[in-house]
Chains A and B, each alone.
Chain A
Amino acid sequence: MRFLQSFVVAIVLRFVHAALIELRALDSRVVKEFERMPEGLSYAIRTGHNGPSLYVEWDGRELRRLPSLAHPACALRIKSMPLAFQLFTGQMGLSQAYARHAFTMGGEVADVMRLARLVNLVEAYLFPKIMTRRIMTDVPETEVCFLRAYARILLGFLTCKYKLSK
């Protein structure tokens, strides 16, 4: 069970990274978030005990995925694999995860708030409303059809712009 959850979480983490990049081309709020993001801001998202992780850094032009980060500005650790599975499969929103003490964080709370807004937008595009209504108090309206977001992300994986490997 844990292996399966871990496998799904690893895939979704790669997907989230791709979605953040592709939504910059589609949604004005995502554009604005990146415009305001401090250059050099980095996030480490780790899950459970030795679970999959995502390391990204904003270099002022793009959000680069890295194999690891020694000193992330914002280091999130989801406390267990079942919690990570809930969080990354649309069963629990980020604010709900906060309310349920689902993660620890080293760094500034403001950077978690930036991430929370971005993740909410990603989820608004990637998950159906019937799911997002249950995990957010207010679901952001999508500015373009969600299919365009899916198409761009899948194309990105097919053309090896994004990789499923480490």
Chain B
Amino acid sequence: MVPYFEFQNAVKLLCGELALERIAIELELMGASKPLMLSDAVLTKIGTLATVIKAMESEGVEPAATFTDIPVDSSLAVVNHIAAFYREQGCDSIVAVGGGSVIDTAKGVRLVLSQNKQDILSLSGLDNLVRGKHVPFIVVPTTAGTGSECTGVAVIRNDSNGVKMEFLSPYVEPDAAVIDPRMTVGLPPKATATTGMDALVHAIEACTCQQANPLSTSYGTAAIRMIAENVVEATRNGSNKQARFAMALASTMAGISFSNSMVGAVHAIGHALGGVCHVPHAVAMTILLPHVMRYNLSHCAQGYAELLPLLVGMEAAMATPAEKRAEAAIEAVVALGRKLHDICGIPLTLSDAGVVRDTFAHVAEVAVNDGALIVNPRAADESQVIEILNAAY
């Protein structure tokens, strides 16, 4: 066990049926009445944002302004632009409706406003900010994967060099997160499968990296079990509200877990693949997970062995000889990926994802500078990252 750890989750979770209708009272309790709604074009088009606004208006809170031009790969400039828009419109709170990009952008906006800055660039770092002014902030995740609603980090691209910058501070955490099964029932099978695998990566990396601690692991292990039991059903039968709700909760728990532990090489390499080759984050996670686990195996056998009962059930795990359990856990992850691939055709190799080998050297150079690598169970240099990329090709 680590000789010292910290644990924080100050996010109030509003989970389950009719949760959206409670946003209005939460804002009121925080003294806010003029929220800025943040979302993206797709969620606006398919009516998800309208569902949230309708639920708020039915309880007496109307948005003061709405901004829906948040791109898939948001940037520091977008954050600064929205912060200025918030001030212009005289808003007093933020409600973000979306996946990872929308939520992380909203976290950035909240940070700029609470720290009373114009430019978020000056705020990057780790635990380096004072609390600042309170800006009421509620998020409504629309995917079950990022866990960003409960993490103390915002990852935002720097426009000038394309590098993803990290803002690690407890003060980026929202005041409340709304986990309403209505928000994910419309998620297409491929997105359900890959974002579910992203959540699985969060939990597995959080439970096995150098920063894992008893509290983060309790959330992580619960998340792994729920994902293993529900991701296939949620992908196959998207209208199954129970499976959807379980995945949304698991994703949130995985978020709490890795926010208080850390992720690892799957994320470091995945971030680099996103930056260099534009592979969507959840797709990169799905492809890389088993290969990074194989790479880590020599340093992490016991940790992986302990995950086996969560992935395949206690009976099957006990029937596996103790010395084979770690490898069996990796095989269980491989089998889960194949099952999801058979249902909806998610890519399982980098070549299927359209990555070309020529980029590997560049990807590796970026990956070793990613903070997620710092507490991976096994160190990795550029040549070792390239080995992993080759294995995943």
> In the complex, are the beta carbons of B127 and A101 less than 8 A apart?
yes
CB distance from A101 to the nearest CB of B (A): 5
Residue B5 at the chain A interface, CB threshold 8 Å: yes
B contact residues, range: 20 to 34
Q: Could you say which residues of chain B place their CB within 8 Å of the CB of A103?
A: 126
Q: Report which of B6, B127, B262 forms a contact with A105, defined as CB distance below 8 A.
A: B127
Residue A96 at the chain B interface, CB threshold 8 Å: yes
If A101-B127, A104-B126, A137-B379 touch, whether A113 touches B210 (CB-CB below 8 Å) is no
- Tell me the bound Cα distance from A87 to B3 in angstroms: 14
Q: Could you say which residues of chain B place their CB within 8 Å of the CB of A60?
A: none
Q: Report which of A99, A106, A107, A110 forms a contact with B375, defined as CB distance below 8 A.
A: A99
CB distance from A47 to the nearest CB of B (A): 16
Task: Kindly supply a per-residue 1/0 record for chain A positions 16-34, scoring 1 wherever the CB is within 8 Å of any chain B CB and 0 otherwise.
Answer: 0000000000000000000
Residue B64 at the chain A interface, CB threshold 8 Å: no
> In the complex, are the beta carbons of B127 and A104 less than 8 A apart?
yes
- Tell me the bound Cα distance from A138 to B383 in angstroms: 15
Residue A98 at the chain B interface, CB threshold 8 Å: yes
> In the complex, are the beta carbons of B369 and A98 less than 8 A apart?
no
Contact residues, B128-165 vs A (CB, 8 A):
128, 163, 165
Q: Report which of B5, B371, B377 forms a contact with A113, defined as CB distance below 8 A.
A: B371
If A99-B211, A113-B368 touch, whether A104 touches B375 (CB-CB below 8 Å) is no
For B261, give the chain A residue with the smallest CB separation.
A99
For A113, give the chain B residue with the smallest CB separation.
B369
> In the complex, are the beta carbons of B128 and A96 less than 8 A apart?
no
* B interface secondary structure, majority: loop
For A36, give the chain B residue with the smallest CB separation.
B365
> In the complex, are the beta carbons of A110 and B124 less than 8 A apart?
no
Residue B378 at the chain A interface, CB threshold 8 Å: yes
Q: Could you say which residues of chain B place their CB within 8 Å of the CB of A94?
A: 374
> In the complex, are the beta carbons of A114 and B369 less than 8 A apart?
yes
> In the complex, are the beta carbons of A113 and B370 less than 8 A apart?
yes
> In the complex, are the beta carbons of B374 and A104 less than 8 A apart?
no
> In the complex, are the beta carbons of B126 and A95 less than 8 A apart?
no
CB distance from B280 to the nearest CB of A (A): 22
Residue B125 at the chain A interface, CB threshold 8 Å: yes
Task: Kindly supply a per-residue 1/0 record for chain B positions 354-393, scoring 1 wherever the CB is within 8 Å of any chain A CB and 0 otherwise.
Answer: 0000000000010011110111111100000000000000
Q: Could you say which residues of chain A place their CB within 8 Å of the CB of B209?
A: 99
CB distance from A133 to the nearest CB of B (A): 12
Interface centre among B165, B374, B376 (most CB of A within 10 A): B374
Residue A116 at the chain B interface, CB threshold 8 Å: yes
CB distance from A39 to the nearest CB of B (A): 14
Contact residues, A145-164 vs B (CB, 8 A):
none
Task: Kindly supply a per-residue 1/0 record for chain A positions 124-149, scoring 1 wherever the CB is within 8 Å of any chain B CB and 0 otherwise.
Answer: 00000000000011100000000000
Residue B29 at the chain A interface, CB threshold 8 Å: no
- Tell me the bound Cα distance from A99 to B373 in angstroms: 12
For B3, give the chain A residue with the smallest CB separation.
A100
> In the complex, are the beta carbons of B379 and A109 less than 8 A apart?
no
> In the complex, are the beta carbons of A106 and B163 less than 8 A apart?
no
Residue B54 at the chain A interface, CB threshold 8 Å: no
Q: Could you say which residues of chain B place their CB within 8 Å of the CB of A116?
A: 374
Q: Report which of B4, B125, B128 forms a contact with A100, defined as CB distance below 8 A.
A: B4
Q: Report which of B6, B168, B210 forms a contact with A96, defined as CB distance below 8 A.
A: B210
Q: Could you say which residues of chain B place their CB within 8 Å of the CB of A104?
A: 125-128
- Tell me the bound Cα distance from A108 to B166 in angstroms: 7
If A137-B299, A137-B378 touch, whether A99 touches B124 (CB-CB below 8 Å) is no
> In the complex, are the beta carbons of A109 and B128 less than 8 A apart?
no
> In the complex, are the beta carbons of B375 and A105 less than 8 A apart?
no
For B380, give the chain A residue with the smallest CB separation.
A138
CB distance from A58 to the nearest CB of B (A): 15
- Tell me the bound Cα distance from A109 to B168 in angstroms: 10
For B262, give the chain A residue with the smallest CB separation.
A99
Q: Could you say which residues of chain A place their CB within 8 Å of the CB of B4?
A: 100-101
> In the complex, are the beta carbons of A110 and B3 less than 8 A apart?
no
Residue B2 at the chain A interface, CB threshold 8 Å: yes
- Tell me the bound Cα distance from A103 to B4 in angstroms: 13
CB distance from A135 to the nearest CB of B (A): 11
Q: Could you say which residues of chain A place their CB within 8 Å of the CB of B379?
A: 120, 136-138
- Tell me the bound Cα distance from A105 to B169 in angstroms: 11
CB distance from B213 to the nearest CB of A (A): 9
Residue A63 at the chain B interface, CB threshold 8 Å: no
A contact residues vs B (CB 8 Å cutoff): 36, 75, 94-96, 98-101, 103-110, 112-114, 116-117, 120, 136-138
7 example contacts (A-B, Cβ-Cβ < 8 A) are as follows A99-B375, A101-B5, A104-B126, A105-B127, A112-B371, A137-B377, A137-B378
A109-B369, A110-B371 known; 9 new pairs, CB 8 Å cut-off, are A99-B209, A100-B3, A101-B5, A104-B126, A105-B127, A107-B124, A108-B165, A109-B165, A109-B166
Top 5 A-B pairs, shortest CB-CB distance? A109-B371, A110-B369, A99-B211, A138-B379, A106-B125
